[in-house]
Amino acid sequence: MDFSYSDEQAAAIDLARQILTDHCTPKHLRSLDLAGGERFDKALWAKLAEAGLLAAGVPESHGGAGMGFLTIAGIVEQVGRTAAPVPVLETTVMGALPLAQFGSDAQQKAWLPRIARGEAIVTSALVERHRATTDPGTRAVRDGAGWRLTGEKLAVPAGPVADAFLVPAAHDGGVGVFLAEANAKGVAREPLITTSRQPESVLRFDGASAELVGDAARGAEIAAWIEERATAALCALAVGVCSEALRLTAEYTKARKQFDQPIATFQAVGQRAADAFIDTEAIRLTALQAAWRIEAGLPAGGAVATAKYWAAVGGSRVVRAAQHLHGGAGVDREYPLHRYYLWARQLELTLGGGTQQLRKLGRLIADGAA
């Protein structure tokens, strides 16, 4: 396998890195935190749209860039590396990609050009209490040519700022995925306070009007398709988060001295940092493998579960080591490390932690043996 980026892919990822790094300075992020409100930087969102990066998951026929999943994952990694307060993963991976793949012509014309221009935020509402994504408790019933939704979705990413949601729901014929607009009658959203301050919400549907996305009989398949790509993108995000936490730790331990010696020269510190480096590289390589298999159209379930296991378990170890090696400086809100620690701990459990991923791998192995 060759995970090397092409010149075109590298150029898009480098552009994302440059824009995000220039804009997301620690001072700017701190001022955004102190301002309160939703953690969403509209000025940065506009810059990303102007650069064409929000169009990454939109086909060229709808004003997009038509980039593959590997490039999109690389852009998402830069969001994690800079702790950028923008819903790139949500809109690009959980909104644009499924609409481009399964949406009707009318849905694509209505939403994809707006997504590409940064004028609309679309995300997916996948999580319910004690229910799998492909076996939702939310219900959909026919209403003439349309549908109406009833139920509740939890921890909807970018929920407070989204314009529309892709919602898996059960109906008499099985499971479908439905497009519901945020301002539709019967849609209520309650903002959540999250570990990382990333905007999320609880969504409640009370007879809300919605449009079917794709085939009504293939909803479970479509929901699994979205979940697989969202999970792979979360792993790419974890690569950025852990890489920056590791970089901050390396710089700090080289500068911090005890007994007139940099603490990086102490054996225990060096061993802890080396373990964090190994974990970060494992997260990076497994995330790349998952993204590469998705882009190549190969079965990716095992690779995604493996990547999410490392993002959950390895990512938690990386940021814990970073926090410990920083000592008291690591918990100072004026210092940027806390953002990466909190985000990594939230990513650990989003769409399934380490135990859930091992169960997925176990089922895949058992099914293969059978």
pLDDT tens string 76-103: 999 999 999 999 999 999 999 999 999 9
Q: Quick check: 236 and 125 in contact, CB under 8 A? A: no
Residues of the chain with CATH 1.20.140.10: 221-369
Q: In the chain, what percentage of residues exceed pLDDT 70?
A: 99
Report the alpha-carbon angle 41-44-48, nearest 5: 135
| pLDDT reported for residue 370 | 64
What is the rounded average pLDDT for all residues in the chain?
Answer: 95
Checking if the pLDDT of 246 tops 80, the result is yes
What is the homologous superfamily of the domain 123-217 according to CATH?
A: Butyryl-CoA Dehydrogenase, subunit A, domain 2 (2.40.110.10)
Checking if the pLDDT of 139 tops 80, the result is yes
Checking if the pLDDT of 1 tops 70, the result is no
Residues of the chain with CATH 1.10.540.10: 7-120
221-369 maps to CATH 3.20.20.140: no
DSSP 8-state symbol, 135: S
Q: Which residues contact 252 (CB under 8 A, 6 or more apart)?
A: 325, 326, 329
Checking if the pLDDT of 4 tops 90, the result is no
Q: List C-alpha distances in Å: 72 to 69, 77, 98, 294, 329.
A: 5, 9, 14, 11, 34
Average pLDDT rounded to a whole number, residues 50-56: 97
Q: Which residues contact 275 (CB under 8 A, 6 or more apart)?
A: 317, 321
Q: Quick check: 176 and 109 in contact, CB under 8 A? A: no
Average pLDDT rounded to a whole number, residues 241-266: 94
* pLDDT grade for 75, boundaries at 50, 70 and 90: very high
pLDDT digits (tens, 9 = 90+) for 102-134: 999 999 999 999 999 999 999 999 999 999 999
Spatial separation of the C-alpha atoms in residues 212 and 104, rounded to whole Å: 9
Tell me which architecture the domain covering 7-120 has in CATH.
Orthogonal Bundle (1.10)
pLDDT digits (tens, 9 = 90+) for 307-338: 999 999 999 999 999 999 999 888 888 899 99
Residues of the chain with CATH 2.40.110.10: 123-217
Q: List C-alpha distances in Å: 191 to 110, 122, 204.
A: 26, 16, 12
Q: List C-alpha distances in Å: 186 to 43, 167, 189, 203, 233.
A: 31, 14, 10, 10, 31
